[in-house]
Structure 1
Amino acid sequence: MADTTHQADQGPAAGPGETLRTRSLGERLRRWRNRLVRSAAFQRWAAAFPLTSPVARKRAARLFDLCAGFVYSQILAACVRLKLLELLDEAPRSVAEVAQACALPEDGARRLLAGMAALGLADTRHDGRYALSMDGAALLGNPGAIAMIGHHTHFYDDLRDPVALLRGETEDTALSRFWGYARGEAPADLSAAETAEYTSLMSASQSLIAEDILDGYDLSRHRHLMDVGGGDGAFIMAVAGRHPDLTLTLFDLPAVADHASQRMARAGLSKRVSIASGDFFADALPTDADIISLVRVLLDHDDASALRILRQAHAALPPGGTLLVAETLSGVRGAETISDAYFGFYLMAMGKGRPRSVGEMQKLLTQAGFRDIRLKRTRRPLLTQLITAHR
C-alpha cells in the first residue's frame, strides 16, 4: 500500500479547477486578512478612514446585533405578550397610557417603548407619544409570526445551554414535549388535548406560506389534492378558496384529524373536504388523489423517516401523479438565517428533523421512486420553496 502520510498532512485533495498551490495561496491570504481585521489598530484606522468607515460601521453594527439578538427577541416577546402592537395600532400612546394599559411601571413602559422604537417597531412622535411603525404594522398583520413569537418561550428554555444541546446532553426538551409526535412514541395514540396546542401553531404557521405555495404552483391542472400531515386544515382551506372545483382530502393523526373535522364544519367545508386519519408511517395513504402535498412535513423528520413518508406518498399516487413538497431548504441564498441557523437549532431542540439542501431532497425523492424532480421558486424563499416530482 502506498504511503499517504504526506498527502494527509496537506489536507483534502484540491477540488475541480483548483491546485494545491492556488488553494494554499488562498488560505494564506485568508489568514493574513483575518489577522489584519482582528487587529485593534486596523479596526481604529478602518473606522476613521473615509473610504472604509461606512463598511466598518456596518460590520460593527452587525456584530453587535449578533451579541444583542437575545435582548431584541425578548423586547419582541414582551410586545406580543402585552399586546402592545395592537394598542399602538389603535392610536398613538403616551408612556403613561401604555404603563396603565399594560400594568407596567412608567419606567418599564418607557424602556419597552424606547426598545420598540430602536428596533423599528414603533415611531416616536413630536409630542412624545409612540405610534405603530410600518414594520410593526407588517408584523401585526402576520398572525403566524405573532404565534411563533409567543411559542418561542419553549425554544428559549432549550437554548439555555446551547453547548449541552449540541452535545446531545439535553434529553427532555421543552420542544420535544410540545411536539408530542417528536417523542418517538406511538403518534396515533396522542389525545386531542396533546395535539391541540401544536395543531393551532401549525395552523398559524401554515397560513404564513399557503398563498405563496398556491402562487408558486398551479393546482387547476389537477382533479384531487390530498394534503398529508395537513394539521387542522389551514392549507386545505386556502386551496378550497382558490380552486372551488378541486376535490380535497386531508390526512393526519386521528386526534389532529378531529380538529380538522371541526374546523371544516365551522367553515362550511365538511362536504367539500374529506378527512382521513392514520399514521403515515404505519398506515397506507388513501389512493384517490392525483396530487399529494407535504407542507413542512419532511423538515420535522430524520432521513429514514422522511424516506418512509415519501415512499408512502409514491405508493398512494397513480402513475404520472404529482408530489408537491413545500419546505424551508438549506443553502438557499438569502434564506440561510431561517433554514441553517433558526431551523437547524429549532429542530435539534425538538429532537428530530433537519433542513435539507435541494440536492439532499432530490436524493430522497429519487430513492422513493420519484422522477422529474424540479425546484420551483416562490415569492418569499425565506419562508418556503417548492419541489415537484412525479411518480
Structure 2
Amino acid sequence: MLKPSASPLNTLSKTSPERAAARKASLLDRLKDARSALYASPGFQTFCSGFWPTRFVARSKAAGVFDLCAGFVYSQILFACVRLELLPVLKVQSLTLREIANHCGLPQDGAARLVKGAAALGILEARSGGRYGLGSVGAAVLGNPGLQGMIAHHDHLYSDMTDPAALLENRSKSTALAQYWIYSPSPSDMDADRAVKETYSNLMRDTQLAVAAEVLRAYSFARHERLLDVGGGDGTFLRMAAEDAPGLDLSLFELPAVAELAQERLEDAGISADVHAGNMFEEDWPDGADLITLIRVCLDHDDDRVATLLSRARKALKPGGVLLIGEPMADSPKVGDAYFGFYLWAMGSGRARTSSEIRQMLDQAGFSETRVLKTGLPDLVRVIRAS
C-alpha cells in the first residue's frame, strides 16, 4: 500500500504560491477551517453527544461516518443478491430461509447472514411465517435492468479499488475494468468473435437503458424527421425511439462489428433503420439528420475526444438541427465526482462533467444555443439540448 512520503504541511514552503494563497483565504474559508477543527476535537464530539440540543446532530454525523466505512460491505451484500439471482425468485414468491439457502447453494447459516444483512438494507424484507420477500430497495433494483447489469460487473471495479492509492498513482496501468470495457477493441477480434461483440453491446445496452428512458421523457422526438444515434451499441436506443416516435426515420453509427449486430437486432425487432459502420472519432458521420443523439457516450471519453465528437456532430447536422446529450453529470457530486470519478479512472478513459462544462465545450464546437432539460432523475441523468 502506498504511504505519503511527507506530511502535507512540510511540502509547502513559507514562500510558496500555495502558502500565499492560504494566507489570502476568504473569511468563509477560514470559518470552514475553524468548524472542521472544532468537529475534529474528541472533547467537542463528547460534549455534543451528551448535550440534548446537539446530540441528535452528533449521532447523525456518527452514523454517516459509519455508513462510509461500512459502505463496501453494503455494496457486497447487494452484489451477492444480484449475482445469486435471488431478487427475481423473491419477486414471484416469498421463501423460507431454507429455500433461499437451497436456491443460492449456500449453507443455511451463510444464507441467514446474507438474508438478515439484505433485510437490514431494505433489499429484502421479513414476511410472516419466517419467510422473506423483496424489500423496497430490492424491488427498485429489479425494476431497472440497466442497474442490475452494472451491479453484476462491479466485481471488476471492486478488484481495481483494493488499493485506491495505487490505482490513482497511474491511470495507464492495466485494470480489470479497462479489460472488461472494450472501447478500442481489435477489429479482427470483434469480427472473429461474436461473443466479444455481444458482450460489448450488452454492456452498452445495460448502461444506456435508464438514461435513454429519461432522454425520451425530457424531449419530444416527434418534432423531428431523421434521427442519427451515434455510438448506439446494438440499437437499444433506436428501438426505444421508434416506439416513442413511430414516424421518425432512424439511423445508427457504430463500430463495424457492433453495427452488424445492431442491424440483426433491429431487423429481429421489425424496425427499419440505416446502420452505418465506422469509427466515430476518425470518420465523417452520415449527414441528413435533424436530430443527433449521444446517449452515455461523452462520459466515457477524455476531453480531446469529446471535442472531436461535438465538432463532427455540428458538421453532420442539418441547418437548424438539434444535438441531444444524455448521461450522468457532475452537477450531482456523489454520482459524478465520487462514483464515476473513480469508475472512469479505473476504466482508463473519460470523466463526468458538469452541465456547464459540457455547454462550454458545445459553444467551442460552434453550437449557438444550449440548454439543460429537466429529467425525472437528475442525480442519475441530465440532458442537454444544443443547436
Aligned mates of 2:22, 2:55 — CA distance in 1? 38
Asked if 1 retains the 8 angstrom alpha-carbon contact of 2:171 and 2:345, the reply is no
Residue in 2 aligned with 1:30? 32
Spell out structure 1 runs of 4+ moving beyond 4 A. Answer: 5-9, 185-189
Residue in 2 aligned with 1:11? 21
Asked if 2 retains the 8 angstrom alpha-carbon contact of 1:180 and 1:187, the reply is no
When residues 281 and 138 of structure 1 are mapped into structure 2, their CA distance, relative to the original with a 3 A threshold, is same
Asked if 1 retains the 8 angstrom alpha-carbon contact of 2:292 and 2:323, the reply is yes
Asked if 2 retains the 8 angstrom alpha-carbon contact of 1:187 and 1:279, the reply is no
Asked if 2 retains the 8 angstrom alpha-carbon contact of 1:37 and 1:43, the reply is yes
Aligned mates of 2:73, 2:17 — CA distance in 1? 48
Matches for 1:249-264 after TM superposition, within 5 Å? 249-264=251-266
Asked if 1 retains the 8 angstrom alpha-carbon contact of 2:221 and 2:244, the reply is no
Aligned mates of 2:322, 2:354 — CA distance in 1? 21
Q: Deviations over 1:288-338 (max 9, x none)?
A: 2111000111111111111111111111112211111112111x2xx2211
Q: Return the letter of the residue paired with 1:377.
A: K
Q: TM-score, normalised by structure 2?
A: 0.90
Asked if 2 retains the 8 angstrom alpha-carbon contact of 1:250 and 1:276, the reply is yes
Coordinate RMSD, CA, aligned: 2.1
Residue in 2 aligned with 1:17? none
Counterpart of 1:326 in 2: which secondary structure?
Answer: strand
Aligned mates of 1:26, 1:225 — CA distance in 2? 49
Q: CA deviation at 1:78?
A: 0.8
Question: In terms of mean alpha carbon deviation, does 285-294 or 155-164 score higher?
Answer: 155-164
Identity %, equivalent residues? 45
Residue in 2 aligned with 1:224? 226
Q: Deviations over 1:40-80 (max 9, x none)?
A: 22222222222222212221111111101111111111101
Question: In terms of mean alpha carbon deviation, does 157-166 or 35-44 score higher?
Answer: 35-44
Aligned mates of 1:290, 1:348 — CA distance in 2? 34
Aligned mates of 1:102, 1:56 — CA distance in 2? 40
Q: CA deviation at 1:369?
A: 1.4
Aligned length: 372
Counterpart of 1:352 in 2: which secondary structure?
Answer: coil
Asked if 2 retains the 8 angstrom alpha-carbon contact of 1:164 and 1:170, the reply is no
Q: Return the letter of the residue paired with 2:281.
A: F
Matches for 1:114-263 after TM superposition, within 5 Å? 114-168=116-170, 171-182=173-184, 190-191=190-191, 192-263=194-265
Structure 1: 5+ residue stretches without partners: 15-19
When residues 127 and 8 of structure 1 are mapped into structure 2, their CA distance, relative to the original with a 3 A threshold, is closer
Matches for 1:218-367 after TM superposition, within 5 Å? 218-269=220-271, 272-330=272-330, 332=331, 335-367=332-364
Asked if 1 retains the 8 angstrom alpha-carbon contact of 2:211 and 2:295, the reply is no
Aligned mates of 2:114, 2:176 — CA distance in 1? 27
Residue in 2 aligned with 1:69? 71
Question: In terms of mean alpha carbon deviation, does 28-37 or 77-86 score higher?
Answer: 28-37
Residue in 1 aligned with 2:373? 376
- Among residues 374, 382, 387, which one is paired with 1:385 in the alignment? 382
Aligned mates of 1:264, 1:150 — CA distance in 2? 26
Q: CA deviation at 1:125?
A: 2.6
Q: CA deviation at 1:32?
A: 2.8
Structure 2: 5+ residue stretches without partners: 1-14
Aligned mates of 2:126, 2:237 — CA distance in 1? 38
Asked if 2 retains the 8 angstrom alpha-carbon contact of 1:144 and 1:207, the reply is yes
Q: TM-score, normalised by structure 1?
A: 0.90
Residue in 1 aligned with 2:11? none
Q: CA deviation at 1:265?
A: 1.7
Aligned mates of 2:246, 2:34 — CA distance in 1? 62
Q: CA deviation at 1:7?
A: 8.2
